[in-house]
Chains A and B, each alone.
Chain A
Amino acid sequence: MTVAVSILPEQQLAVLNAAYRQAVARRRLRLLFGAVIFAAALCLAAFGAEVNLRTLFTHYGNFISYFDRILTLDNGQRVWTDVGEWLWGWRKWLKMLGETVLISYVGTLIGAVFAFCLNFFAAENTSPAPWLRFTVRRLLEFARTVPGIVFAQIFVIAFGLGPMAGVLAIAIHSTGALGKLFSEIVENADMKPVEGVRSTGASWLSCMRFAILPQVTAGYASYALLRFEINVREASVMGFVGAGGIGQELVVAIRKFYYSDVSAILLTIIVTVFIIDISTGWLRGRLFGKEART
């Protein structure tokens, strides 16, 4: 089948062409305007952040040679020629890594429980009173915006050095982050079951338990697992401020220039994060099917 392409008469075409060119020109102008503003912001930022390209270029070799140094053993050999020597402290490091994972597990679980308790008050469709919603939302926002490591630093002073401060810091940060995500799931839930349960004369608590909860648990668990993954990464640096975990070993190794130890600890952290990523991904796939893996 052939289709004839109709070509408009010259005058009509000229008008359309002009309109098209004008529209394109206007868009280009806007893009240019945006680009100029962005470039100006970048220059301002470069000035503010004391960017010094000369430092970067003169010390660029340092970056490469740093990796060269952390991949070299004390006897001048490459680290992978003598794995036993490279990973000499694996017993200690494994223990610290276990502690790191445990910190993030306990922190995530405590955070998830608090987020679970608070999220029904924060969601628009289930909150019993506007003032309560406002307060809970601000509280969650606060917990989420203040970085976990700042909480950790303050908790180290209050609770003393050790993993307890790390756990509590991660718990608070997770409460904020999960509380927001959980309440968004609740806001997307179908309200018809709630009406059904309420029409039988049920209390607010029963409405939540029998109408909302069955719809949202899968989403909750999926987000909590995702958070656990993120928290493992976060727990790996809690040791920087004395809040337990492998970070302590790492910061000592970096500051004291134990080069091969740095690469060994980094390797163990990366492998652990990989394993956790893969296993939580698998678990989420198992529990909730493929569509819940976001």
Chain B
Amino acid sequence: MTGPQEIDTAALRARYPDVFDRPASARLAMPAMIVAALAILIYGLVDLDFSPSRFVAGLNQLGWISLMMIPPDPGSSLPVYLKALGETLSIALLGTTLAALFALPVSLLAARNVVPSSILRFPIRRFLDSIRGVDTLIWALVWINVVGLGPFAGVLAIAVSDFGAFGKLFSEAIEGADQKQVEGIRASGGSALHEIRFGLLPQVLPVIAGQVLYFIESNTRSATIIGIVGAGGIGLQLAEQIRVLEWQKVSFLILMILVAVAAIDFVSGKLRFAIIGRRAVA
């Protein structure tokens, strides 16, 4: 055993210049970025009317509100709330299914390995991007103008906004599929439709099923809020109770949402494992 060696700092410095003698530009980049980020933050706080006194007063109010929320109590409207929750779950399930059904054919058109022509693909992609750029709540407002107030507008809103998301995700899944099986089908004389049906779909369907399940889960969350603009579901009740400052009912509704989302999480997690296996979920 040798004892502790004498460390030759100079030699180390010479050997690892990247570690010891980084150029000033590299060393300054990080602090410069932090300073810039902070500067924008401070500008933002000033521009958005943040003031300590307002913040403290608001926190005070918030404390009162939280106190008034305890204990959660539905009053006499529990049946109404349960019905609204059922409505929300229905909206999420139907909206996601509709979106997936419509998005599948479109996503094929947006995938590079199905449609090689980028002239055709580009407008479809931009179209999907534009749909995704608009929030679900905005779609809900638009659909209310078309089919009137109520949960049906919510279904259509979720269907449209998910259509954009699914179109992108599905086409990415299709692009990630193995081409060898498609070539195999083509070699044995299959048509383009056969290639898609027997070469692509068996590979991408499990991935797509996993994504759809995940979206049903996340749409339960979205479906809770579209009620705020009048598109049905538990959000309608929640917005109403917040407006009339019935805090005990508000906290009860929030609890209901938390429990429902946790339950859906659990179920869809199990289903996803069953469909695509534990490995692919992570």
Q: Mark B119-142, 1 if CB is under 8 A from A, else 0.
A: 000000000011001110110011
The CA of A154 and the CA of B254, in the complex, are separated in Å by 12
Q: In the complex the two chains form, is A158's CB within 8 Å of B152's CB?
A: no
Q: Which A residues touch B48, using CB under 8 A?
A: 99, 102-103, 106, 162-164, 167, 244
A15 at the interface (CB under 8 A from B): no
B93 within 8 A of A: yes
Number of interface residues of A (CB under 8 A): 57
Chain B positions 217-238 with a Cβ under 8 Å from a chain A Cβ: 221-222, 224-225, 228-229, 232, 235, 238
Residues of B within 8 A of A99 (CB): 47-48
B interface, CB within 8 angstroms of A: 37, 40-41, 43-45, 47-50, 54-55, 57-59, 61-62, 65, 86-87, 89-91, 93-94, 97, 129-130, 133-135, 137-138, 141-143, 145-148, 150-152, 154-156, 221-222, 224-225, 228-229, 232, 235, 238-239, 242, 245, 250, 254, 257-258, 261-262
Contacts A63-B146, A149-B225, A158-B58 given: A266-B138 contact, CB under 8 Å?
yes
Closest B residue by C-beta to A104:
B44
User: Residue A150 at the B interface, CB < 8 A?
Assistant: yes
C-alpha gap A273/B194 in the complex (Å): 38
Main secondary structure of the interface of B (DSSP, over half): helix
Task: Kindly report which residue of chain A lies nearest to residue B225, judged by CB atoms.
Answer: A147
A32 to chain B, nearest CB (A): 16
- Contacting pair B61 A159 (CB below 8 A): yes
User: Which among B43, B89, B137 has the greatest number of chain A C-beta atoms within 10 A?
Assistant: B137
Does residue A1 face the partner (Cβ distance < 8 Å to B)? Answer: no
Residues of B contacting A149 in the complex (Cβ-Cβ under 8 angstroms): 137, 225, 228
Residues of A within 8 A of B90 (CB): 44-49
Distance, CA A33 to CA B187, complexed state (A): 35
Residues on B with beta carbons closer than 8 Å to the beta carbon of A157: 61, 65, 242, 245
